[in-house]
Amino acid sequence: MKWGAIIGITFLASLLVLYEWPRIKPGQKKEKAVLIGLTLMGWSLAVTLLFLPNLPGPTQWIDALFRPLGQIFPK
């Protein structure tokens, strides 16, 4: 069943690129590269969360990173 979700995510990402691509002027290669890069990052995050739904979020990573500083500096 996860293959269907991957196909759906890929379909939606493709629709996003096909919708936005003509709106970018022909000479703007950097903008097109950013569109592709951000779409690929979003697609990979969506697929990763599909297989690992309990993956810690960004706030949990920041909390783990700065927790030692909180112990050093009391409230």
Enumerate the domain spans of the chain: 2-72
Residue 58 is predicted with a pLDDT of: 85
What residue has token string 């996003």? 16
What is the rounded distance in angstroms from the CA atom of residue 33 to the CA atom of residue 19?
15
Q: How far apart are CA 54 and CA 65, in angstroms?
A: 19
pTM over 0.85: no
**pLDDT tens, position by position, 22-59:** 999 999 999 999 999 999 999 999 999 999 999 888 89
